[in-house]
Amino acid sequence: MAETPTSRLRHVRHSRLARLSRMRRLKGFLTRMVTKFTGTGEQFAVSSVAKGLGLKAARDLTVTTDPSEGDTVTIDGRVYTFWTSLTGHAADDGAVLIDTGASADSLLAALTLDPGGSGTLYSAGTTAHSTVDATVTTNVITIRAKAYGRVGNSIAIAKSGTNLAWQGGAETLLGGEDPGVIFSVIPETFVTGLGPFSLTGTDASYGLDLDLLYYLRVVDADNIMFALSAAQARDGDCLTYPAEATGDFIIQLGATTNVAIYETMRRGIAAERLGVATDIDAL
């Protein structure tokens, strides 16, 4: 059957309406994307570099009162045992003297192999700990991994006895972060994966691209790292910068330029994912 002028006109009209509908949907989609990326615009001050080499995992051990005979502290498989006397334990590896009011110092001496304490504060048979260092403040011993990075977060810790307490009841050292500049911020309620953030007023030595958007990895209550996506932030795949980089700048929730929005979308954020997000936290 031959096409009539009327049917041809209907076809043309239908095609134009369909194209207009697609254009409107695209415009609506892009408008929603701008709204989502632009976010709240809330700004936060970033105040200098913390650690260009990363962070060492650590945890505090509190000696509430003197340990009891036979109480133990275990760090990365090494067992330190408290005794009221070192007599009979001279050859032991990790025998520690219960020294009234100063047992934390005895353990510190054993951990650091303080030569002045050999045979008096800890057994002469004690050998140096290979994976951690320690410092003490009054009755609190800070145990810190010797190596930088998240590898220290796997160092197991334990104790026996009611007069010893690991910070937060932890079973491993915590807080280790791999190399990469870590930035200090005014304490905020951030969560890992939060973003996107744009940057303003950055020092050129960071090598930060102002036309990109960034997501946060929370190191602790006062420190953050940057990643190019929420998933990378959660996986710890963060950006690295020169260790000597210095300077203060502002991070702002949401994009401040259309270029930043374009670059973020160009890096492969799927339209389907953007389309179902209700706010920037869902991206």
Two structure tokens written together for 108: 């510190």
- pLDDT reported for residue 131: 95
Two structure tokens written together for 47: 């105040």
Q: Which residues contact 134 (CB under 8 A, 6 or more apart)?
A: 107, 108, 111, 112, 141, 142, 143, 144
Nearest to 89 by CA among 104, 74, 110: 110
Highest mean pLDDT among 39-53, 78-92, 244-258: 78-92
pTM for this model (two decimals): 0.59
- pLDDT reported for residue 6: 64
- Cα separations in angstroms, 130 against 93, 96, 113, 145, 211: 13, 18, 11, 9, 45
DSSP 156-181: BEEE-STTEEEGGG-SB-B--B-SS-
What does the DSSP 8-state code read for residue 2? P
Q: Annotate 99-124 with b (16+ C-beta within 10 A) or e (fewer).
A: beebbbbbbbbbbbeeeebeeebbbe
- Cα separations in angstroms, 162 against 102, 104, 110, 258: 17, 15, 21, 59
pLDDT band at 247 (very low <50, low <70, confident <90, very high): low
pLDDT band at 194 (very low <50, low <70, confident <90, very high): confident
Highest mean pLDDT among 34-48, 68-82, 197-211: 68-82
Q: pLDDT tens for residues 107-160?
A: 999 999 998 899 999 999 999 899 999 999 989 999 999 998 888 999 999 999
Q: Is the pLDDT of residue 272 over 50?
A: no
Q: How much is the average pLDDT of 233-252?
A: 72
Nearest to 154 by CA among 50, 53, 59: 59
- pLDDT reported for residue 207: 64
Amino acid, single-letter form, for residue 172: T
